[in-house]
Structure 1
Amino acid sequence: YDGCYGVLAGLEAIESLKEAGFVPARPLVVAAFTNEEGVRFSPDMMGSLVFAGGRDLEEALASIGTDGSVLGKELQRIGYAGQYQPGFLKPKAYVELHVEQGPVLEREGIAVGAVENLQGISWQRITIDGEANHAGTTPMSMRRDAGVAAARVIGFLADRAGASPTPTVATVGTIAFEPNAINVIPSRATFTIDLRDPNEMHLREEEAALATFLEKLAASAGVTIHAESLAR
């Protein structure tokens, strides 16, 4: 189960079955996977990915967090470093209970929904380098403003996703400017992009459109742009 609600609901289901005297044909297990969201350690869904054999255990444990911490050491610190190897359980079936994480069911007045597809995810970190200069004396035509360039990327993503006939969504969830002073033109803008679409072909198209936009923006704004893939 993913999230506090899913884990607690799983425990409640097991307790209710025990109280009812129900004897299952197979053993039932409640599982909480490590680092499903990927906010502190990248990539997301790391625990389930390792369990399914999609990522090496030692590689995952060596992951560096956004605060500089190491995943394996943090698991040991909080007492969550397990003693079993990934894959020691071979489930016959798997059920995940999850909050919607969105407003659609509530808007439609529907209490429960079944998942029809999964969102494909593309996470990137974008770094734009321009030139710091005085905000009061540098003409607009002579600026290499990393902040303005970042704003144009954000606008491009919002406009494109909003006009898309597919369920594409785009989010810029973090952003930082350097030197981060009120009277200085930003010399650097660093931000993250979260692109999602349940269709792999559509997601690739969005990635390609973004890459093309970044290339053209770098030339027109006089900045350099570096894109780093964080999760795919």
Structure 2
Amino acid sequence: MAIELVIFDLDGTLVDSIADIAGAVNHALCKIGSNTLSLDEVRRLVGSGVEHLLLRAAGIDNIDDHDIVKKDILKSHFLSHYTEHIADKSRPYDNVIKTLDTLSGIKKAVASNKLESLSRRLLDKLSMLKYFDAVYGYDSCHERKPSPVPLIKLMEVLGTGISQTIIIGDSGTDIEAGRAAGIKTIAVSYGYRSVDSLKDADYIIDDLSEIIPIIKAIN
């Protein structure tokens, strides 16, 4: 059957947002007196949601009552700063807009592990929100990637089946979610993870525009 829905990861797939994320992380770390991190250090931590990111950035492994308070303080400072500066330096990767235009006849959705409100805000600030029929964040469902639940829910909401849907992302989290949902997976090599970590994807591409011939071949 023809592909009718393309589900995209956001950070590291559609948008290079790491500089603004790192800025917000370091702002939060400074507020609690912790050492700041380099861009590469933050890049290695993103992908599993803001709380996981901040706990790892602050070096918190086993949470006790004190750490719960610290986590909440970190999250508050991060969200305040990131909401205000979400698109200061973030930009879509090369050929992303061109590819989204080319896919005008196909339903498109975003499944991100950042808050839905922040996902929408980032896309809106970059004039990209108009391209998507649905945008899910980690708080849109009761589970987040690598669970297949967000992908299954998107297929239900947008009326497509397993054979009609593909997911595109830059991490094993996206690939695992797609495989668990039973859909084809495409990994981008230019994102925040090494190519070695993407080996389980059905396809690996170096530029988002390469999904066009893949979709045509599947169809």
TM-score normalised over the length of structure 2: 0.28
Larger-gyration structure (1/2)? 1
Report which of the two has the higher share of helix. 2
TM-score normalised over the length of structure 1: 0.27
